[in-house]
Amino acid sequence: EAGVTQFPSHSVIEKGQTVTLRCDPISGHDNLYWYRRVMGKEIKFLLHFVKESKQDESGMPNNRFLAERTGGTYSTLKVQPAELEDSGVYFCASSPRLDSYEQYFGPGTRLTVT
Amino acid sequence: AQTVTQSQPEMSVQEAETVTLSCTYDTSESNYYLFWYKQPPSRQMILVIRQEAYKQQNATENRFSVNFQKAAKSFSLKISDSQLGDTAMYFCAFMKADSNYQLIWGAGTKLIIKP
């Protein structure tokens, strides 16, 4: 069984540019989570999809971030326009059911905004 | 709001030694889960061990065990007979039960196992 995959593994962009991160969850997992770790700080929750619906987006920092999960399969997280403080590692995780307490993580995308 | 604190940014021990990583948390919830996740260098985050708050017995997974002190809100991880492959970032995390299932994380402890 393939694990959670994320693309790209690393992205370097200039301030003001747009970047789109992609997450492919484990097949059949309805729940998809995005988290972010800014350098040296705690990992923070961004949002949670159940299938294609946003269950909780309370952690999204501002309206420069847009997440989608069309068709309930893969998800994208777009940052537009990127700011320096957006630099960090973006993790995606998936779980099979809403009451699943174990989340399976992807390798993360390291975003560097210069 | 819940918070998770890991007070040890970095630790190092010799191979085969036992090491304990600290984690404390703050919550007013009575039903929750606690986790230790491990992220080896350049690799994915994986679950090491979990503890349900309603269980008094400490969870154990092979060389990994926890000391769960609910009243003290403490959840330490003990690694016995440490191996080089245990070198990783270790994160303590909290999840409120029957809720949105988001994880709340500590800042992490970098553990280095020396040969």
Q: What is the pLDDT, as a whole number, of residue A100?
A: 74
Chain B residues with beta carbon closer than 8 angstroms to that of A45: 102-104
Short-list A30, A22, A31, A26, CA closest to A78 = A22
C-alpha distance from A114 to closest chain B C-alpha (Å): 22
Q: What is the pLDDT, as a whole number, of residue B42?
A: 78
Q: What is the pLDDT, as a whole number, of residue A63?
A: 93
Pairs of residues, one from chain A and one from chain B, whose beta carbons lie less than 8 Å apart: 58
Mean pLDDT along residues B26-38: 94
- Check whether B46 has a pLDDT greater than 70: yes
Q: Give residue ranges of B with CB < 8 Å to any A CB.
A: 4, 33, 35, 37, 42-47, 50, 91, 93, 95, 97-98, 100-108
Distance CA B47, CA B112 (A): 18
Q: How confident is the model at residue A1 (pLDDT cuts 50, 70, 90)?
A: low
> Under a CB-based contact definition with an 8 Å cutoff, are residues A105 and A33 in contact?
no
Distance CA A107, CA A109 (A): 7
Distance CA A82, CA A79 (A): 6
E strand residue ranges, B3-108? 3-5, 10-14, 19-21, 24-26, 32-39, 46-52, 60-61, 64-69, 74-79, 88-96, 104-105
- Check whether B27 has a pLDDT greater than 90: yes
Residue B8, Cβ density class (10 Å: 0-12 exposed, 13-18 middle, ≥19 buried) = middle
> Under a CB-based contact definition with an 8 Å cutoff, are residues A57 and A47 in contact?
yes
* Cross-chain residue pair A106–B44, CB shorter than 8 Å: yes
> Under a CB-based contact definition with an 8 Å cutoff, are residues B44 and B102 in contact?
no
